[in-house]
């Protein structure tokens, strides 16, 4: 959710939501304005985020952000621990997975920017790409660790033809398979785009 003062990556553009015109002040209509980083709230990173010359937001393929997705809770015991194949793969549901959403519990949806969060390793990202995963989603602010300067998971995912969703709100979502609808806003040649991510329960046909 994007709101006034919503938590953003330290140093990024603060989120501001305000009224420019209001009927209560005599205007004919209510008109609001918003200033925010494209990384505020749930968003899709474009490959341009980590490398000049790679795809911008207007080139993100829509089919990747719509379809069956698996939600998996990631257990971890210490802040700096990478999530490897040995830990993650036994938790994956049987069958092919094209969209994987990892639930870490370290999310800005709680109202503050988390100090730490778990991230999969570069090798794990490579193995997931090999198994057919095309969309890597996390409830944390990044698919890489907070202090990373090289962003190896971003680079591995993008170079392997995958894509990234970050800052998902999975607090009320149980592990399992869902239909994901998470189309990025079509903005030209930027490094990220806001997303309204919705999951549909495949059994009960309800939206989360």
Strands (E), the chain: 16-21, 31-35, 43-45, 66-73, 82-83, 99-103, 119-120, 135-138, 163-166, 176-181, 192-194, 198-201
DSSP state of 94: S
DSSP state of 161: T
Known catalytic residue: 155? no
Nearest by Cα to 47 from 39, 35, 38, 55? 55
Nearest by Cα to 192 from 65, 61, 58, 64? 58
Q: Give me the residue label for tokens 């553009």.
A: 13
Please tell me which residue in 49, 58, 154, 155 is annotated as part of the active site.
49
Give dist(CA 176, CA 73) in Å, integer. Answer: 10
Tokens of 3: 């709101």
Give dist(CA 81, CA 68) in Å, integer. Answer: 29
At 111, is the secondary structure helix, strand, or coil? coil
Question: Which active-site residues does the annotation give?
Answer: 49
């Amino acid at each position: 959710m994007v709101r006034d003062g919503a938590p953003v990556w330290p140093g990024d553009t603060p989120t501001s939501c305000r009224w420019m015109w209001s009927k209560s002040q005599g205007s004919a209509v209510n008109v609001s304005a918003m200033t925010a980083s494209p990384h505020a709230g749930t968003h899709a990173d474009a490959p341009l985020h980590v490398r000049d010359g790679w795809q911008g937001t207007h080139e993100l393929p829509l089919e990747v952000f719509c379809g069956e997705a698996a939600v998996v809770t990631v257990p971890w015991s210490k802040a700096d621990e990478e999530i490897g194949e040995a830990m993650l793969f036994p938790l994956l549901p049987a069958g092919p997975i094209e969209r994987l959403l990892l639930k870490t519990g370290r999310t800005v949806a709680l109202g503050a920017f988390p100090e730490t969060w778990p991230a999969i390793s570069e090798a794990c990202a490579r193995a997931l790409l090999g198994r057919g995963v095309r969309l890597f989603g996390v409830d944390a602010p990044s698919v890489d660790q907070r202090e990373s300067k090289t962003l190896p998971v971003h680079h591995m995912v993008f170079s392997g033809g995958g894509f990234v969703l970050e800052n998902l709100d999975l607090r009320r979502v149980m592990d399992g398979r869902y239909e994901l609808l998470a189309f990025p806003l079509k903005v030209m040649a930027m490094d990220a785009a806001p997303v309204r991510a919705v999951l549909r329960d495949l059994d009960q046909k309800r939206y989360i």
